[in-house]
Structure 1
Amino acid sequence: LRNELEIQLWVSQSPESKTVSETSSDHAMKLPEEKHLTLAEQVESMRCQVLAKWEEMQMLEKEIRETMTHAGMANTIEKTVKDIEAEALKLNSANSFLQNQIKEVQNNITDIFNRQKVSQESQ
């Protein structure tokens, strides 16, 4: 752990950290003063860069998961609200239809009772 921290400190102080955005082929051509580094040090330096990029990718993936989840939930809720509104319209129209049917049946029953009274009175 101590060696890793020393290497990370050394890498952060080296000019290599300033040229992180370079491609690997450009990296091999530039920085001639780093040729004195051993192969193990170069590998460790690249390993540190890879780990740093990996951590950055993990953070970005986490942020994407968190923000995309909210967008997905918003879409789901919006769809659910539209479905509920459509169902409410269907229920309202069914309710109106049934109320009209009830009125018609009540009128028919009233007419039948009225006829029955008339027929009973005539007997």
Structure 2
Amino acid sequence: MNTPSKQDERIAKMTFASVYPHYVNKVEKKGRTEADLRKVLQWLTGFTKAKLDKHIKQQSTFEALFDDAKLHPNASLITGVICGYRVEEIGNPLTQKVRYMDKLVDELARGKKMESILRS
């Protein structure tokens, strides 16, 4: 098993564009739309549609994506378990941000109301 630092490094170097189609597939299989997914991702990152598209087209790593992002002030309200870890207890800031994104995608796929997902 990877040590946490190797896991953090692997996540940092992973491209957002390689994961995005999996997010789309996951939410669409559960009856949500890509537009719903984009709304959630834009809420978390502060990106416009064009900026999100730019990161996908440029094959940005998660590290570059979140370096450019302005995380929503309510992102710290995202709690719970994702990939076996409590997101609020993850020590590496970048890994925590990526897991915030994973958690939001999971909540969307599970059919939670958008107001709840966006911590309104």
- TM bucket (normalised to shorter chain) is under 0.3
Structure 1 length-normalised TM = 0.22
Structure 2 length-normalised TM = 0.23
More contact order relative to length (CA 8 Å, sep ≥ 6): 2
